[in-house]
Chain A
Amino acid sequence: MTSLRQANQNRVTLRRTIITLLVLVAALVIVVGTASLLGSERLPVSNSLCALTTLGTRQCGLTSDHFDILFQIRLPRILLAAAVGGSLATAGASYQALLRNPLAEPYLLGVSNGAAVGTMLALLFFGSLEWSRPLMAFAGALVATFAVYRLARGRVGATPERLILAGVIVTTFLSSIIVFVTTMMDATRIRSFTFWLLGDLSGANTGLLPVPIAVVVVGAIILSLNARSLNLLMLGERDAFDLGVEVGRVRVTIFLIASLLVGSSVAASGSVGYVGLVVPHLTRLSVGSDNRISIPSATLGGALFVIIADTIARTVIAPRELPVGAITALIGAPLFIYLLKRV
């Protein structure tokens, strides 16, 4: 009897998941399309749409400059924005579920800064090897994650307060390392670095673009497959264990994948703030806290959020540009407060 009801419930959840994700994918397509029509240069709308629908196989009467702007500059940047937003939001959603803490997110936990220090060291010591950046960022994110986790686990276990305190401590410690190294670096490299620290998506047209895209797709799938265990873990580790969840394995998987997501996005774009905190809360408030829906929704929602923020960053004072991190915080904070007040 109960199993029948559960099966029925699962079917309802599955249908809801599919509908929610389809709506978000449709929104993503529309936003990607709109964002590729907006920029400091005005492109002819119908020709651009035509070229976009053929995925760049036909030029559709666009001049070669316009074609290059669309496919060499704008679209890679939009894809990178989507990958970065999706990565950070997915990582945030999983941290919040695993650690049962609404404040757990890549930046506050120090994971972003760990990845930033990793990237910085890669730039300093293996400057010419592009591949070293995502690898070192991943390593940095992992080290920071485990440092925070170890610090948070006192004799009484990891309380939410301890966790956030540990995160803040690791974050500030790593920030001071970043400040120290940027001060020591020579002047010509500081400019690009300070920009990068605020989150900057202008490095999209490099050969490394496939890395964050592949990572976000694979990472989001793996974390969504662990969503059931995460649901049970939200009851508490002991209860989850009694219900057959391999707590240790799930925890390691989530930490590894989330570090990979944060590492690849920080290596590609620096520290884009607020996404990992705001987006999972927004999606949870609108689709509920069942991780089977909320984790993939956070991935798509994060992509939407950062694409919109970056479109504002590159158009609002065109032909000059703002760092995307400034915009994500600028629209993220009020949006967050508004939603908190409504609930």
Chain B
Amino acid sequence: MFFNSSRFIKSLSLLLIALLSVSGCSRSSAVLNKPSTNPRRITDDAGREVFLPDRVDRVISLAPNLTEIVFAVGAGRSLVGDTTYCDYPVEAKNIEKVGDTQHPNLERIIALKPQVVLVSTASQLEVFTEQLRSHNIAVFVTDPHDLEGVFRSIEQVGKIVGYMEQATALVSSLRARAMAVDNALKQSPRIRTFYQLSAEPLYTAGHDSFVTDLLERAGADSVTANVPGAWPRYSAEAALAARPDAIILPTGGSMGEGNGTIAKALATSPAAKTGRVYKINDDHLVRPGPRAVEGLEEMARALHPEAFK
């Protein structure tokens, strides 16, 4: 043995204690965001209570849809950090990057001294959320399962950043557009539709996805509406047996060329035979933000051109 193990452990633990207390100090002085005057208390989609100062002007977004919401309510200047996937609007690209949605960098986030970090459950950052919380950084989690949930996210983010009026106005204009689609489709028959998130392996939109609600509103009966989960891995033979009359391919946005062709199992479907395969910009469909309504309109027009003459 090179060292006396018990002494080594003792000094190691002393060192650890010292380190912990130092980081504890810096934490309380630097990034503690508990405001001195009456903190606001907001409950997020994960059911957590989030304490926020009255004025929030340092926000980090860890998902492109949340970045879009912050800009859409007019609070783009409060955004001090976002992810490499945040590419809309163009200004979002110039915001300091804290990593991508799956691998955000804790140190950089702490260094940016945010008052709140916005997180989408889609990024699967439960552990990371806990880490941020343990550094006394307020984390607000959004988890919309339908278009109303997206509207609620917009209003909540608006409330957090102090742009409530703009958020309310935005939501009512978006809701009006959704209603317009609804009215246009009153007479239209529903179309059995398969939503192909990716062909290989085959992924679709399941029961918990807000896309399932968008499909419903666009006059489609999603053949996978009752499959558990938000984005389930789907059986090829089940897709073949479902015989959808239309197929939606989210592609052309962030996906680029990806997902541009239907899965082999769908080649014999009525949708493929009659050519009812529709490519819709994936950025409008996989991001539960303001542009989801554009996705809704695009799907509705593709599926029911007769209703929008």
Inside 8 A of B241's CB, which chain A residues have their CB?
A: 41, 65, 69
Assembly CA distance A191 to B233 (angstroms) = 10
A64-B268, A187-B100, A195-B233 given as contacts; is B200 within 8 A of A318 (CB)? no
Asked if B235 is an interface residue, CB under 8 A from chain A, the answer is: yes
Inside 8 A of B234's CB, which chain A residues have their CB?
A: 319-321
Asked if A188 is an interface residue, CB under 8 A from chain B, the answer is: yes
Contacts of A1-50 to chain B: CB distance below 8 A: 39-41
Assembly CA distance A278 to B233 (angstroms) = 28
Tally of B interface residues using CB under 8 Å: 32
Query: Which one of A52-60, A90-98, A143-151, A200-208 is at the interface?
Result: A200-208
Contacts of B171-230 to chain A: CB distance below 8 A: 198, 200-203, 224, 227-229
Assembly CA distance A189 to B237 (angstroms) = 23
Nearest residue, chain A, Cβ from B241? A41
The answer to whether A73 touches B103 (Cβ under 8 A) is no
The answer to whether A73 touches B227 (Cβ under 8 A) is no
- Distance from A164 Cβ to chain B, minimum over Cβ atoms (Å): 27
Nearest residue, chain A, Cβ from B202? A202
Nearest residue, chain A, Cβ from B259? A188
Asked if A159 is an interface residue, CB under 8 A from chain B, the answer is: no
Assembly CA distance A288 to B264 (angstroms) = 44
The answer to whether A320 touches B237 (Cβ under 8 A) is no
The answer to whether A68 touches B240 (Cβ under 8 A) is yes
Inside 8 A of B200's CB, which chain A residues have their CB?
A: 192, 202-203
The answer to whether A320 touches B254 (Cβ under 8 A) is no
Per-position 1/0 for A298-337, Cβ under 8 A of B: 0000000000000000100011111000000000000000
The answer to whether A73 touches B236 (Cβ under 8 A) is yes
Asked if B262 is an interface residue, CB under 8 A from chain A, the answer is: no
- Distance from B106 Cβ to chain A, minimum over Cβ atoms (Å): 16
The answer to whether A318 touches B198 (Cβ under 8 A) is no
Inside 8 A of B238's CB, which chain A residues have their CB?
A: 40-41, 318-319
Assembly CA distance A190 to B100 (angstroms) = 13
The answer to whether A188 touches B258 (Cβ under 8 A) is yes
The answer to whether B254 touches A68 (Cβ under 8 A) is no
Nearest residue, chain A, Cβ from B282? A188
The answer to whether B237 touches A73 (Cβ under 8 A) is yes
The answer to whether A65 touches B227 (Cβ under 8 A) is no
The answer to whether B198 touches A191 (Cβ under 8 A) is yes
Per-position 1/0 for B60-86, Cβ under 8 A of A: 000000000000000000000000010
Asked if B265 is an interface residue, CB under 8 A from chain A, the answer is: yes
Asked if B232 is an interface residue, CB under 8 A from chain A, the answer is: yes
The answer to whether A318 touches B268 (Cβ under 8 A) is no
- Distance from B290 Cβ to chain A, minimum over Cβ atoms (Å): 21
The answer to whether A187 touches B237 (Cβ under 8 A) is no
Per-position 1/0 for B98-140, Cβ under 8 A of A: 0011110000000000000000000000000000000000000
Inside 8 A of B236's CB, which chain A residues have their CB?
A: 73, 202, 205
- Distance from B94 Cβ to chain A, minimum over Cβ atoms (Å): 20
Asked if A72 is an interface residue, CB under 8 A from chain B, the answer is: yes
Inside 8 A of A318's CB, which chain B residues have their CB?
A: 235, 238
Nearest residue, chain A, Cβ from B228? A320
Across the interface, B201 reaches (CB within 8 A) one of A68, A187, A192, A319, namely A192
A65-B241, A183-B103 given as contacts; is B203 within 8 A of A191 (CB)? yes
Which of the listed residues B224, B236, B238, B268 has the most CB atoms from chain A within 10 Å of its own CB?
A: B236
Assembly CA distance A187 to B123 (angstroms) = 11
Inside 8 A of B258's CB, which chain A residues have their CB?
A: 188-189
The answer to whether B268 touches A319 (Cβ under 8 A) is no
Asked if A133 is an interface residue, CB under 8 A from chain B, the answer is: no
Nearest residue, chain A, Cβ from B85? A187
Asked if B243 is an interface residue, CB under 8 A from chain A, the answer is: yes
Assembly CA distance A322 to B198 (angstroms) = 16
Assembly CA distance A40 to B238 (angstroms) = 6
A41-B241, A64-B268, A69-B237 given as contacts; is B100 within 8 A of A319 (CB)? no
The answer to whether B237 touches A41 (Cβ under 8 A) is yes
Inside 8 A of A192's CB, which chain B residues have their CB?
A: 198, 200-201
The answer to whether B101 touches A187 (Cβ under 8 A) is yes
Nearest residue, chain B, Cβ from A39? B237
Asked if A74 is an interface residue, CB under 8 A from chain B, the answer is: yes
Across the interface, B264 reaches (CB within 8 A) one of A72, A188, A200, A321, namely A72
A65-B240, A188-B255, A189-B258 given as contacts; is B268 within 8 A of A205 (CB)? no
Q: 22 A-B residue contacts at CB 8 Å?
A: A39-B237, A40-B237, A41-B237, A41-B238, A65-B240, A69-B240, A72-B240, A73-B237, A73-B240, A183-B103, A187-B85, A187-B102, A188-B254, A188-B259, A191-B198, A202-B236, A203-B201, A319-B224, A319-B235, A320-B234, A321-B201, A321-B235
Identify 11 new A-B residue pairs, CB closer than 8 A, beyond the known A196-B201, A319-B234, A320-B232. Answer: A41-B238, A41-B241, A68-B268, A69-B237, A73-B240, A187-B102, A191-B198, A200-B201, A203-B200, A205-B236, A320-B233
9 nearest A-B residue pairs (beta carbon): A319-B238, A40-B235, A69-B237, A319-B235, A40-B238, A41-B241, A320-B232, A202-B201, A73-B237
